[in-house]
Amino acid sequence: MFERVKNFLGNNKQMSFLDHLEALRWHVIRSVVALLVVTSVLFFYSDFIFDTILFGPTKSNFITYRALCKLSQLLHLGDSLCVQSKVQFNLVNTQMWGQLTMYMWGTLIAGLIITIPYILWEIWKFLAPALKPTEIKYVRSFVWVASFLFLMGVAFAYFIIVPWTVNFLNDFKMSKTQISNLLNVSSYVSTVTTLVLWMGVIFELPVVTYILTSIGLISSAFLKKYRKHAVVIVLIVAALIAPPDVASQVFISIPLYILFEVSIFVSKYAERKKTAKV
């Protein structure tokens, strides 16, 4: 694999190293143009992006809160999981350019999330010449898998992690003194977008595992050997992105650990593909 990439970048008879850089430049340009076009279009739907999507978790009728309330009733727990009446946010802006900056940043992040499949496609188009014909179809399918996993991570963060996190931070008080939380809108937007983007990246673990196994950097045996260490890492990650209560951290840890187990399966699959080629 490394030898093929080396040949692709430098020793390819058909294209020089500068030619590859030129090709890469155009892939980057097309990706940036696509992002800017999508972002520009989204400026016309700013009410939906901000009022409905970005600030959705601050409203009592948010879908996650309604789902938790229905779940509470189905489990005969009364209103113990219903949090609609407790959702109270006071968002303020304390900077002259604060709202404009967050307006542009929020729209850009929305455009990036929508454009991710196309950006991954451009990456595949750049790497395709370095692959054998039998490998291209697998890489193409993994482009769509990577897009699906990223969007699934984004959805998991938005519907599960964000509501818990922002509500906990909004309600948390360091003492019994009457201290009101007036959340800065820039802080809220940054928290939401950071959680969403990082969880989208974390959900790419199976794809990264497939690539690293294919080039021989890791193996399924290696992942199994450090399974206990992975549990600790998952708990640490959950502690960093979830409110500091046991229920929330356990609930978030489960999907993350499932991702790790799926990565072991993906690693085995990659090893079988390598063995079959030999």
Question: pLDDT truncated to tens, each residue of the chain (278 aa)?
Answer: 444 444 444 444 455 666 667 778 888 999 999 999 999 999 999 899 999 999 999 888 888 888 888 887 887 777 766 765 566 788 888 888 889 999 999 999 999 999 999 998 888 888 777 666 666 666 667 788 899 999 999 999 999 888 888 888 887 777 777 777 788 889 899 989 989 998 999 999 998 888 888 777 888 889 888 888 888 888 888 877 766 666 667 778 888 899 999 999 988 888 887 776 65
Q: What is the pTM of this model?
A: 0.82
Per the CB < 8 A criterion, the answer to whether 149 and 206 are in contact is: yes
| Residue 159, token pair as written in the block | 């519907």
User: What is the domain partition of the chain in residue ranges?
Assistant: 2-203
Of residues 244, 261, 262, 242, the one with CA closest to residue 252: 242
CB distance 38 to 114 below 8 Å? yes
